[in-house]
């Protein structure tokens, strides 16, 4: 089992589990060493190794490793190979090149640090496993996966169950044990998401970074961080801070205007639709004229404040964009015939989008869900969109629209793009690429956008499909400018993510959920988008187990109290003792029914996942 074996590298005993901190812009040699420690032995100074390079994701890093190992092995052939062995070796190295080009690799779903995975649950094999399969020996690869799926090649060769068979396969196909150990990558875990101060008791609907060290959150919650917070809170200095008596209502959006925080929604039992915080207390205003006023969105364009909402009157519901002219609120253009969810801008013009299909309170001019303001009047923007729109975002002149994916009967568009000066919306993701799909809940839609470190992220209720688990997920995804495709960031355990924001160098999401991946988080979570667990102790400084080795019972101890899950995983990555919840610092587990062997003890808590090896006698 990994962690029980030491490999001597250039005179230094280095545990095979040791990993470098994840690097995006770093010397190539550092990237390669992160994927496989054998680089320190086989080629410590690879060509171009000192040059700083950037990999967009771990799949690119793995592919670069495989291409370089393959090139080296292709020109460095072991002595004494027969013609048949050389032919077999050459063929499999060509297969390895195609495998690297494909870029589809196993995903590490088990351990919170880099580790080999021979064949993952979606039947994707590692490079060594794939070479066995290509050679016609799938049975050997699957047998290794079933018994030692998380093991390094050196551990597999040391196990009596596989020593002779793997050695024979390697010899037949012209490889040495050192060749296979160098080929085999270690795969990064999913992005770590962490709890944010205990989270909230119910839904977070909007987030706002004021650029002054404060992150504002609003929603339907009554507690944040375990303290009473009435629908709104300020996160600063690592804690939630109350904002007066809070707000009673359903907040939809927030914006800073001057020194005030404005919150759109419906408040005071339906009497007002705009709440204003001046740093000392709350005041309320009514923007939409009529009964039961609602505001759905706030938008500042060229220093001017616009809002979108609706109210009821004698003639029915009026859906209207309003503008603050410095003295009073005034209508913008004609009303629309259905809900206006969001405002934005494109080519210097104000844009409104939502569920509407016509201009005019009772209909009139067709307008398919998105409109632009031209000479004071609304008209359809480009060729319109086929379904309801919930969010707009300007990306360097390109307008991004997020909307309905599935409403229970029809497929929507999900995410669509309109270039600067364009006359036709482009919907590559759902319609053509199938990278974005509906979730099981109805409705399924893209609900919001945000930017972090120069990249666009979007959220909602959807599935985002990448090449593997680390690039797939639900409810939160990254937009890839180069290919206009998407990558999922987390498997969110909950209904939806309503808002995404950048704060203090991290990405923050808020919504209705109880966790991301295996991390506990109540309705708000954060990530630095790095790979792996926090801290430098790969074994997890927050986790201790004794006795170890053990015969029947073990005691699990951690440094802090709080809700956590503990489980036991075998060498193949299978859960053999299901997760059990405890809230104190210690827990007892009965392992007497487990066969003798090596296992992993995993603890999932508020700070992520940690793991320690466990030996059962």
Give the pLDDT mean for 483-501.
89
For residue 543, what pLDDT is reported? 79
CA 586 to chain centre: 31
Give the pLDDT mean for 94-123.
91
Task: Give the pLDDT band of residue 434 (cuts 50, 70, 90).
Answer: low
Using alpha carbons, list the distances in angstroms from residue 294 to 220, 250, 332, 373: 16, 9, 16, 22
Q: What is the DSSP letter of 469?
A: G
For residue 194, what pLDDT is reported? 82
For residue 110, what pLDDT is reported? 85
Q: What is the pLDDT of residues 201-228, one digit of tens each?
A: 999 999 999 999 999 999 999 999 999 9
Burial bucket for residue 546 (CB in 10 Å: 0-12, 13-18, 19+): exposed
| DSSP string for residues in 565-615 | EEEEEETTS-EEEEEEEE-SSEEEEE-TTSPSEEEEEEEEETTEEEEEEEE
Strand partners, 245: none
Range in 253-257, 403-407, 445-449 the model is least confident about: 403-407
- Please give the Cα distance from 431 to 97 (Å, whole number): 32
**Closest to 250 measured CA to CA, from 282, 280, 227, 273:** 273
**Closest to 369 measured CA to CA, from 407, 396, 397, 420:** 407
For residue 56, what pLDDT is reported? 66
What is the greatest pairwise CA distance in the chain? 94
Q: How many CA within 13 A on the CB side of residue 349?
A: 19
- What kind of architecture, by CATH, is found in domain 544-616? Sandwich (2.60)
Say if residue 531's pLDDT is above 80: no
Helix (H, G, I), strand (E, B) or coil at 315: coil
Q: Are 444 and 459 in contact (CB under 8 A)?
A: no
How many residues comprise the chain? 617
- Please give the Cα distance from 141 to 408 (Å, whole number): 43
Tokens 């994927």 sit on residue? 35
Q: What is the mean pLDDT of the chain?
A: 88
Q: What is the pLDDT of residues 261-274, one digit of tens each?
A: 999 999 999 999 99
Q: What is the DSSP letter of 337?
A: S
- Residue 475 or residue 530, greater confidence: 475
Query: What is the rounded (10 degree) CA torsion for 37, 41, 43, 48?
Result: 50
- Please give the Cα distance from 114 to 470 (Å, whole number): 12
Give the pLDDT mean for 414-421.
94
**Closest to 299 measured CA to CA, from 373, 376, 351, 237:** 351
For residue 488, what pLDDT is reported? 87
Q: Is-cis flag, bond preceding 547, omega within 30?
A: yes
CA 102 to chain centre: 22
- Please give the Cα distance from 304 to 330 (Å, whole number): 12
- Please give the Cα distance from 462 to 488 (Å, whole number): 10
Give the pLDDT mean for 166-177.
97
Task: Give the pLDDT band of residue 443 (cuts 50, 70, 90).
Answer: confident
Tokens 């073990």 sit on residue? 554
Q: Are 130 and 95 in contact (CB under 8 A)?
A: yes
For residue 470, what pLDDT is reported? 58
* pLDDT over 70, % of the chain: 90
Using alpha carbons, list the distances in angstroms from residue 576 to 155, 175, 557, 567: 21, 35, 20, 8
Say if residue 433's pLDDT is above 80: no
Give the pLDDT mean for 599-612.
79
Q: Which of 183-192, 398-407, 557-566 has the highest mean pLDDT?
A: 398-407
- Residue 122 or residue 182, greater confidence: 182
Say if residue 533's pLDDT is above 70: no
Q: Is-cis flag, bond preceding 549, omega within 30?
A: yes
- pTM score of the predicted model: 0.70
Task: Give the pLDDT band of residue 540 (cuts 50, 70, 90).
Answer: very low
For residue 530, what pLDDT is reported? 63
Token duo for residue 208: 């706002």
Token duo for residue 250: 């359903």
**Closest to 350 measured CA to CA, from 368, 333, 328, 363:** 333
- Please give the Cα distance from 263 to 253 (Å, whole number): 6
| DSSP string for residues in 73-138 | HHH-PPTT--HHHHHHHHHHHHHHHHHHHHT------S-SS-B--SB-TT--B-HHHHHHHHTT-H
Q: Which helix (DSSP H) or strand (DSSP E) does residue 181 occupy?
A: helix 177-183
For residue 520, what pLDDT is reported? 72
Say if residue 361's pLDDT is above 70: yes
- Residue 518 or residue 443, greater confidence: 443
- Please give the Cα distance from 510 to 503 (Å, whole number): 13
Say if residue 290's pLDDT is above 80: yes
Say if residue 259's pLDDT is above 50: yes
| DSSP string for residues in 18-83 | --PPP-SEEEHHHHHHHH-TTHHHH-SS-TTTTSEEE-SSHHHHHHHHHHHHHHHHHH-PPTT--H
* pLDDT over 90, % of the chain: 67
Q: What is the pLDDT of residues 557-576, one digit of tens each?
A: 887 777 778 889 998 889 89
Token duo for residue 578: 């299901």
Strand partners, 344: 351
Q: What is the pLDDT of residues 7-45, one digit of tens each?
A: 222 222 223 333 344 444 678 988 898 899 999 999 999
**Closest to 429 measured CA to CA, from 449, 454, 403, 408:** 403
* List of residues 6+ apart from 431 with CB closer than 8 A: 413
For residue 439, what pLDDT is reported? 75
Q: Are 89 and 173 in contact (CB under 8 A)?
A: yes
- Please give the Cα distance from 508 to 522 (Å, whole number): 12
Q: Are 272 and 284 in contact (CB under 8 A)?
A: yes
Q: What is the pLDDT of residues 493-525, one digit of tens each?
A: 888 999 999 999 899 999 999 988 656 789 999
**Closest to 339 measured CA to CA, from 289, 388, 372:** 388
Task: Give the pLDDT band of residue 447 (cuts 50, 70, 90).
Answer: very high
Q: How many CB atoms lie within 10 A of CB 416?
A: 25
| Buried residues in 576-605 as b, exposed as e (16+ CB within 10 A) | bbeeeebeeeebebebeebeeebbbbbbbb
- Please give the Cα distance from 45 to 510 (Å, whole number): 45
- Residue 535 or residue 291, greater confidence: 291
**Closest to 206 measured CA to CA, from 268, 254, 275, 258:** 254
Say if residue 432's pLDDT is above 50: no
For residue 472, what pLDDT is reported? 78
Domain map of the chain by residue range?
6-183, 544-616
Range in 173-182, 202-211, 312-321, 605-614 the model is least confident about: 605-614
- Please give the Cα distance from 7 to 10 (Å, whole number): 10
Token duo for residue 145: 């996966």
For residue 483, what pLDDT is reported? 77
Q: How many CB atoms lie within 10 A of CB 24?
A: 15
């Amino acid at each position: 089992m990994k962690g029980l074996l030491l490999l001597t590298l250039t005179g230094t005993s280095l545990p095979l589990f040791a990993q470098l901190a994840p690097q995006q812009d770093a010397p190539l040699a550092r990237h390669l060493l992160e994927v496989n420690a054998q680089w320190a032995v086989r080629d410590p100074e690879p060509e171009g190794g000192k040059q700083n390079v950037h990999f967009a994701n771990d799949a690119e890093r793995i592919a670069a490793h495989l291409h370089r190992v393959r090139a080296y092995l292709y020109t460095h052939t072991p002595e004494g190979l027969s013609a048949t062995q050389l032919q077999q070796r050459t063929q499999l190295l060509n297969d390895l090149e195609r495998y690297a080009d494909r870029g589809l690799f196993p995903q590490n779903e088990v351990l919170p640090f880099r580790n080999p995975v021979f064949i993952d649950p979606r039947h994707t094999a590692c490079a060594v496993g794939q070479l066995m399969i290509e050679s016609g020996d799938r049975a050997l690869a699957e047998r290794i996966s079933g018994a030692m799926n998380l093991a390094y090649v050196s551990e597999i060769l040391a196990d009596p169950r596989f020593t002779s068979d793997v050695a024979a396969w390697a010899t037949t196909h012209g490889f040495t044990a050192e060749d296979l150990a160098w080929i085999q990558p270690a795969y990064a875990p999913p992005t770590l998401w962490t709890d944010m101060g205990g989270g909230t008791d119910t839904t977070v609907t909007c987030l706002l970074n004021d650029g002054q060290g404060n992150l504002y959150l609003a929603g339907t919650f009554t507690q944040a961080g375990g303290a009473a917070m009435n629908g709104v809170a300020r996160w600063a200095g690592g804690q939630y801070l109350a904002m007066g008596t809070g707000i009673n209502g359903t907040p939809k959006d927030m914006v800073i205007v001057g020194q005030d925080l404005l919150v759109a929604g419906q408040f005071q039992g339906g009497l007002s639709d705009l709440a204003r915080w001046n740093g000392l207390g709350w005041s309320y205003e009514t923007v939409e004229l009529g009964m039961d006023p609602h505001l759905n969105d706030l938008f500042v364009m060229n220093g001017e404040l616009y809002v979108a909402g609706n109210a009821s009157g004698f003639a029915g519901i009026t859906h209207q964009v309003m503008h603050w002219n410095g003295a009073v609120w005034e209508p913008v253009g004609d009303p629309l015939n259905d809900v206006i969810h969001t405002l934005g801008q494109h080519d210097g013009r104000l844009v409104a989008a939502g569920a509407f299909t016509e201009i005019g309170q009772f209909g009139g001019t067709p307008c398919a869900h998105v409109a632009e303001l031209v000479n004071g009047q609304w008209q359809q923007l480009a060729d319109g969109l086929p379904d309801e729109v919930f969010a707009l975002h300007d990306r360097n002149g390109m307008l991004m629209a997020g909307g309905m994916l599935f409403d229970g009967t029809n497929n929507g568009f999900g995410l669509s793009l309109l270039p600067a000066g364009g006359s036709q919306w482009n919907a590559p993701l759902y319609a053509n690429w199938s990278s974005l799909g509906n979730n099981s809940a109805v409705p399924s839609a893209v609900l919001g956008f945000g930017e972090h470190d120069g990249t666009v992220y979007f959220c909602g209720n959807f599935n985002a499909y990448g090449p593997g688990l680390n690039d797939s997920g639900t409810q939160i995804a990254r937009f890839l400018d180069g290919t206009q495709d998407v990558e999922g960031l987390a498997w969110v355990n909950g209904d939806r993510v309503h808002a995404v924001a950048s704060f203090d160098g991290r990405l923050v999401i808020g919504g209705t959920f109880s966790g991301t991946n295996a991390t506990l988080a109540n309705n708000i979570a954060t990530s630095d988008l790095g790979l792996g667990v926090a801290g430098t102790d790969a074994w997890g400084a927050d986790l201790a187990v004794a006795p170890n080795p053990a015969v029947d019972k073990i005691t699990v101890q951690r440094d802090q109290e709080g809700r956590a899950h503990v489980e036991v995983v075998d060498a193949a990555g299978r859960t053999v003792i299901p997760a059990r919840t405890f809230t104190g610092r210690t827990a007892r587990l009965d392992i007497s029914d487990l066969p003798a062997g090596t296992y992993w003890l995993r603890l999932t808590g508020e700070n992520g996942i940690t793991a320690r090896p466990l030996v059962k006698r």
